[in-house]
Chains A and B, each alone.
Chain A
């Protein structure tokens, strides 16, 4: 006769535990870490390049990149001046805490102030897998359309900031900014937002200042 026993465990609790270990490593090294999530092509790597260049001389930046098959993105970040590590995701659609842990073995945290993790381009599941970063950022972009918060609520809910990239394309693509922002407001009230273009540089200073402030606040805490 089978017996029913209660379990009541979060299915991803093993990942959550590993994420806490990663976070502890960042804490010990006094390195601020941020997880960047977005759909493919939204401009994650472009934003990282601009950020590394924009903060050159102010912050030492490391980058962890999860790409399904190539190291193009890590190479771009490296060329921009970051110390970059490429993680082999083995075809996975998201990074998990274990992958970040192995990448941390290849980064000398003592030489860094900020680690930016570029997650796999995907709006479905990366948000479910905590990595141990202090904050997470969602990069949306104008050509993706203004309905994304409604279609992928899980991604917009947990993030600490939203970057709306490619605003240089607003004149050419239909995009109802009000509608888009209303979706964000419901899912994540009061979340910090930046409208910018990695192409023209418009709006970048506000993002850079905010990020630098997060790092400084963390370091002096």
Chain B
């Protein structure tokens, strides 16, 4: 009983995050469409890094719900996922870290710079 309740809350909590993100996406898209006097928004192009903790399906789920009744209803969401890439400041090489190891696989260096992977932006929209 208690266990189930915990699971439920956890799940509700996890999806809430994408709700806030999806609301922001809608707000930004509607604002830009209004500026162009668009009648409809038909597509949105999202850029999301692997380190931005976003589940595409959850965004899609909320999108269908909250875009209803707006000029963005029925617009398709295009997700572009950006892998994490680190640059080693010791040996100069770029690498994609694995889930167990973050240090540079070439020289075991720990001084790194994040080149990509934490993007969370709306890049473009299709309007009519």
A-side interface residues toward B, CB under 8 Å? 1-15, 68-69, 91-94, 96, 120, 122, 124-125, 128-129, 147, 149-151, 153-154, 157, 182-183, 185-187, 189
Give the distance to chain B from A94, nearest Cβ to Cβ, in Å: 6
The residue that A10 contacts in the complex, of B99, B102, B110, B121, with Cβ under 8 A, is B121
Report whether B51 and A154 are in contact in the complex, using a CB–CB cutoff of 8 Å.
yes
Report whether A93 and B13 are in contact in the complex, using a CB–CB cutoff of 8 Å.
yes
Give the distance to chain A from B104, nearest Cβ to Cβ, in Å: 9
Report whether A12 and B24 are in contact in the complex, using a CB–CB cutoff of 8 Å.
yes
Task: Write 15 A-B pairs (CB below 8 A) sorted by A numbering.
Answer: A1-B128, A3-B126, A4-B124, A8-B124, A10-B121, A11-B28, A13-B28, A91-B13, A120-B13, A124-B14, A129-B20, A150-B99, A151-B99, A154-B118, A187-B102
B-side interface residues toward A, CB under 8 Å? 9, 12-14, 16-17, 20-21, 24-25, 27-29, 32, 36, 42-43, 46, 51-53, 84, 99-103, 110-112, 114, 118, 120-128
- With A2-B127, A93-B13 as known contacts, state yes or no: A8 contacts B53, CB within 8 Å: no
Q: Which of A11, A13, A91 has the most CB of B within 10 A?
A: A11
Q: Is the interface of A mostly helix, strand, loop or mixed?
A: mixed
Report whether B126 and A9 are in contact in the complex, using a CB–CB cutoff of 8 Å.
no
CA distance A9 to B29 in the complex (A): 10
List the A side residues contacting B24 at CB < 8 Å: 11-15
Apart from A3-B36, A5-B32, A14-B27, 13 more pairs, CB < 8 Å: A4-B43, A6-B124, A7-B29, A15-B20, A69-B9, A94-B16, A150-B99, A153-B84, A154-B118, A157-B118, A186-B102, A186-B103, A189-B111
Report whether B124 and A7 are in contact in the complex, using a CB–CB cutoff of 8 Å.
yes
CA distance A218 to B29 in the complex (A): 39
The residue that A11 contacts in the complex, of B51, B110, B121, with Cβ under 8 A, is B121
List the A side residues contacting B51 at CB < 8 Å: 153-154, 157
CA distance A177 to B85 in the complex (A): 26
Report whether A183 and B29 are in contact in the complex, using a CB–CB cutoff of 8 Å.
no
Give the distance to chain B from A139, nearest Cβ to Cβ, in Å: 18
- With A150-B99, A186-B102 as known contacts, state yes or no: A92 contacts B16, CB within 8 Å: yes
Give the distance to chain B from A39, nearest Cβ to Cβ, in Å: 12
Give the distance to chain B from A65, nearest Cβ to Cβ, in Å: 16
- With A11-B121, A93-B16, A128-B53 as known contacts, state yes or no: A185 contacts B42, CB within 8 Å: no
